[in-house]
Amino acid sequence: MRTIAAEQLMNRWLDTLAEAISDVGYWQWWAENLPQHFQVEFGGTQLWNAPMAVGEPPSGQIALRFINPKSVSFLTKAYNEAPRNWPKLLQGDEIEPFAITYDSFTMNNIDVLSRILDESGKIETVCGINPKEINWRQVNSKLGFWAGPVGLMIGSEGMEILNHEGVVSPEEVEEKHARWWAYWKDYWEVKDCAKALPYDYACEATIPASDD
């Protein structure tokens, strides 16, 4: 049983992770080996990861791997501006990534999970039980979000965070987020100079506030 302190610590890094993914991030891919795990990949995150090649900006790719999922569902809003088979197209890199809806992404807020489900026009459960039949307070690891007209909801026994170098520990999340913001500041300070850093989508999308 988790202590109150452990619960607070977990919620803090989950909130940081959710903020780093949802601010200007996008959902670009998913993979599964059900019933063992379901993996979701995001780009444009505000987490500093080493560049994937010389001359490139830090990698903004992060994957969340949900272990022993009890429920996995693709969601579509009622107005449905996406193709009917969008999950397959996204997995096959045959459709553009979906930008995350900033205020509709959570890994621990039950109220937001409920709102996301209420906004769903179609729920396609591909593993386990319908998300509307779950007591989410009893689920160890969870994820619910909208990315424009489409979304996802997962409940599982556990979760791993991955980048191109391997597993990212929960303790590294806040460090990577803080390092990204330091890098973002440097990016904009030299943007119009000879020492400008390589183009970075996440930095460009996270525009500094005007002093006016």
What percent of the chain has pLDDT above 70? 95
Residues 132/103, Cβ–Cβ less than 8 Å: no
Q: How far from the centroid of its chain's Cα atoms is residue 181's Cα? A: 18
Mean pLDDT, rounded, for 125-150: 96
Predicted TM-score of the model (pTM): 0.94
**For residue 68, is it left (φ>0), alpha (ψ between -120 and 50) or beta?**
left
- Beta-carbon neighbour count of residue 208 at 10 Å? 12
Q: What is the pLDDT of residues 154-190, one digit of tens each?
A: 999 999 999 999 999 998 999 999 999 999 999 999 9
Q: What is the pLDDT of residues 93-109, one digit of tens each?
A: 999 999 999 999 999 99
| CA–CA separation, 113 and 91 (whole Å) | 24
Between residues 4 and 111, which one has the greater pLDDT? 111
